[in-house]
Structure 1
């Protein structure tokens, strides 16, 4: 019998809000500055001791604060370090500028690793799944733009899912989901001016999949770098902006 999932504490959302406020206070105070005692912070933010403890736990996990006991103790701003600065810059995550070009750039950098893992983990079932995705992409050439683009991204999602789940799979999969969400506003038929690019994109994807099935990662990378392949996605991304 699977274990029963514990309900999420109602204090967690409140704790995250308080954690943000304490983190801002720590940034303003500077590294190692004393922020106050637990009691002083609880009174300053008007929260229960349980909520404060959860907020402090969240901040300690990222190195944004430290808690000391005994005389002269209390809650202190964390040490400044490259790692803690990076964590602070990502919490909360704010992405400025067009999202699709950023995700495309990251995926392009990850592609050699993704393809190498796919080649190493290729199985008969994986090859069959890829062929099915290419068949769906072929059928989508005569459909609407959103279906074609989604079918292409589904090919890459299948490639990512071939090796056993790991950090690379999780990262690449997350970026692909972001791309799919970014392109959700696409609608309408494929523009005639894009027909040649759509056909070249389809052929590049088909050849890329064939190379992966033959365990030729370099050949697959070459086809994925086709200018028409990348250009089509940039064009549809611009159209997808609501």
Structure 2
């Protein structure tokens, strides 16, 4: 990421307007056109600073002072206007509270479980440990998601999955990395839509957003020759074929092999799994 205070708002030369929301938001990369070898995540400096504030608050007990506005501005390395916006975001999310006067400043809150979960998703997408945790949780819920999908899948649903898979193939063949990643995400969104479990589907798609945004972060420093779209495309083929048969175990296996950074040749996303025949 650039060390400047302003985001240049480009993804491989394509303009992305600023928006308020977490980096994992699908809105981010539906605006992207091509990744190439340089990616800007599109999350504002205020959003990034709010994430830093959240990590500071999480590291101390509720009610502990984390600093003054100026101290946080220096820690985050941003302008006065940016830290004001970041503090407003953190307060809205129940991460911190402010107290005026002597001994005042900004203090850690004890947020609700939902606020903590939302905060985790907002700050997780660029952290290796958080990515690994997200994959672990996704693997745990994979059987539930697949069983729900197979219980309700129709011929029209299978046609929709096939259509999404065709876009995965097309974008792989065209070599457009961001379009390929978006096509893979859309296929998983189609899968999530098959079930009626609102909480399960929302959790699953949030985890997938963490994975894809983590991938976009890694692509910032990845040369084009170190990108191979085929491994992930093959997993997408396996997933759709298993849902078509249908084969519950094969579908769960394929879902668990959906590791976004598998397209990076030097990545070691997880322990290798034996592929089903």
TM-score, normalization by structure 2? 0.46
Aligned residues: 160
* 1:221 has 2:252 as partner: yes
The answer on whether the counterparts of 2:192 and 2:204 sit within 8 Å (CA) in structure 1 is: yes
TM-score, normalization by structure 1? 0.51
The answer on whether the counterparts of 2:227 and 2:264 sit within 8 Å (CA) in structure 1 is: no
The two structures, once aligned, show a CA RMSD in angstroms of 4.0
- Which of 170, 182, 189 pairs up with 1:150? 182
Alignment of 1:44-59 (within 5 A): none
Alignment of 1:90-109 (within 5 A): 93=120, 95=124, 97-98=127-128, 99-109=130-140
Q: Secondary structure at the match of 1:112?
A: helix
Change (3 A) 1:231 1:137: closer
- Displacement after TM superposition at 1:104 (Å): 2.4
Change (3 A) 1:206 1:86: same
Q: For 1:177 and 1:224, locate their aligned partners in 2 and report how far apart those are by CA, in whole Å.
A: 15
> What 5-or-longer segments of structure 2 have no aligned partner?
1-59, 65-90, 95-110, 268-277
Hey, what does 1:118 align to over in structure 2?
Answer: 149
> What 5-or-longer segments of structure 1 have no aligned partner?
1-23, 29-54, 60-83
The answer on whether the counterparts of 1:130 and 1:158 sit within 8 Å (CA) in structure 2 is: yes
Change (3 A) 1:184 1:222: closer
The answer on whether the counterparts of 1:133 and 1:154 sit within 8 Å (CA) in structure 2 is: yes
Higher normalized contact order (CA 8 Å, seq sep 6+, divided by chain length): 2
- Displacement after TM superposition at 1:172 (Å): 0.9
Question: Where is the helix percentage greater, Structure 1 or Structure 2?
Answer: 1
Deviations for 1:68-116, whole angstroms, at most 9, x for unmatched residues?
xxxxxxxxxxxxxxxx996796585465933433322222222111111
